[in-house]
Amino acid sequence: MLFGIVFVLVGALGFISNPIVGEGGYFQTDMIHNAIHLVVGVLMLIMAGNMATLALNLFGAIYVLLGVIGFVQGGDKLLGLIVHNSHDTWLHLVLGLVLLAVGMSTKGSGSSMPSSGGMTGGMGGMPS
């Protein structure tokens, strides 16, 4: 659930002028990039229950792939569609690896997605 919340917040932040994420920010994004963050965040929140492991592994693999493509392709438009820079490329790669590591470390039915209390303990600190 924590990752979903962060994605939604980052997506929303991209629409507000700031030095971190957005046009002219440390992490270059445009409206499409910000919308994708919002959609990924909402999907992760929806999948936070019994599909949490799937969400972590799926989005982890996608973000690793985006990081690799960013390094290979170069330029300022990822896949010719989404504004990004080298900071985004590194973030995509590291984020993907973290999501995969957390997804692969969860046990059982896949209902354990990190809450704000840490990486274990399931949803919202409730026992798994």
Q: What is the tens place of the pLDDT at every residue in 47-61?
A: 998 899 999 999 999
Lowest-confidence segment of 33-37, 38-42, 81-85, 105-109 by average pLDDT: 105-109
What average pLDDT is seen over the chain? 85
Q: Residue 121 falls within a domain, yes or no?
A: no
Find the domain containing 59 and state its range.
Answer: 2-106
Look at the chain and report how many structural domains it folds into: 1
Burial (CB < 10 A; 0-12, 13-18, 19+), residue 19, is: exposed
* Cα gap 67→44, rounded to integer Å: 19
Q: By mean pLDDT, which of 48-52, 58-62, 92-96, 103-107 is the weakest?
A: 103-107
Output the pLDDT for position 4. 95
Longest dimension (CA), the chain: 46
The pLDDT value given to residue 80: 85
In the prediction, which pLDDT does 112 show? 44
Tell me, yes or no, whether 120 lies in a domain.
Answer: no
pLDDT at 121: 41
pTM of the model: 0.79
Using CA atoms, how far apart are residues 122 and 21, in angstroms rounded to an integer?
30
- 70 in a structural domain: yes
> Does residue 124 belong to any structural domain of this protein?
no
> Is 21 a member of any domain?
yes
11-16: average pLDDT: 96
